[in-house]
Amino acid sequence: MQQDDIFGLQFRQYLTTRRLGRILRSLDQVDSTNRLAQSLASEGAPEGTVVWARHQTSGRGRLGRSWSSPAGKGLWFSIVLTPAVSPATVSQIPLVAAVAVARSVVRVTQLTPRIKWPNDIMIGRRKVCGILAESRVQGDTLEYVILGIGLNTNATAGDFPPELTTTATSLFLETGKPVDDIALLANILNEIELWYDLWLERGFGPIQEAWQAQNSSRPASAI
């Protein structure tokens, strides 16, 4: 059995979603999962399509910053979303994801992450996860949103570039235990779909409450 077949079988054992992750592009290497997901979305990829790579050569975060993505040391993935909402509300989607990722980290590791404004996941004073949402709008219509997530899972101190050694961390560094990336990816997608559907049904209120409960440093009502 091929490695990707084994990955797919294990992944689907943990996945409970209706949409997210049901179509999964699993790659050894890509320049940017967000860039590939954008291309797929432009070609009509359905909502919930996920692009996951073991290594990104040109990963990026908010404000055009680069994102260190060492091979096999984290979860680097992007999700195609097509919500029927106003483009003005797209800025809320990364906060939806931040709540979901933080809750997944708690469940899997028993760590206590917090969300730093607006959507960085921190453990102590160090960043463990970044979230980036990019959208395409035609006129007044939102065509799609690409939700990109980079989570340091099994990185050691030597895996980070020198400029990040005092500001970045990983779940492995914080717990001393290796992380099952396959199970965690499925867990995160399960959690995101729950909170994303809640946001679609009830708006930002429930998200705001959950976001603020994660020891955030700024009121989410600013969104």
CATH of the domain at 103: 3.30.930.10
Rounded CA separation 12/155 (Å): 25
Q: Is 53 exposed, middle or buried (0-12, 13-18, 19+ CB in 10 A)?
A: buried
* pLDDT < 70: residue spans in the chain: 1-7, 58-68, 215-223
Does the pTM of the predicted model rise above 0.85? Answer: yes
Whether 52 is covered by a domain: the verdict is yes
pLDDT for 136 equals: 97
Whether 55 is covered by a domain: the verdict is yes
Whether 198 is covered by a domain: the verdict is yes
Whether 186 is covered by a domain: the verdict is yes
CA-to-CA separations, 87 to 84, 138, 140, 156, in angstroms, rounded: 9, 10, 7, 39
Contact (Cβ atoms closer than 8 angstroms) between residue 92 and residue 204: yes
pLDDT for 4 equals: 56
pLDDT for 8 equals: 74
Total domains in the chain come to 1
pLDDT for 63 equals: 44
Contacts for 120 with CB less than 8 Å, ≥ 6 apart: 98, 127, 129, 130, 131
Instruction: Give the DSSP letter of residue 217.
Output: S
Structure tokens at 7: 């990955």
pLDDT for 7 equals: 67
Whether 223 is covered by a domain: the verdict is no
Whether 143 is covered by a domain: the verdict is yes
Structure tokens at 57: 């050569």
Structure tokens at 138: 């035609």
Structure tokens at 152: 């340091």
Cis preceding-peptide flag for 162 (omega within 30 of 0): no
Structural domain including 31 reads 3-218
Whether 209 is covered by a domain: the verdict is yes
Rounded CA separation 146/133 (Å): 6
Q: Is 164 exposed, middle or buried (0-12, 13-18, 19+ CB in 10 A)?
A: middle
Which residue from 91, 105, 70, 85 is spatially nearest to 207, judged by alpha carbons?
A: 91
Rounded CA separation 214/192 (Å): 16
According to DSSP, the residues that pair with 76 across neighbouring strands are 53, 150
Whether 158 is covered by a domain: the verdict is yes
Instruction: Count each helix (H run) and each strand (E run) in the chain, helices first.
Output: 6, 7
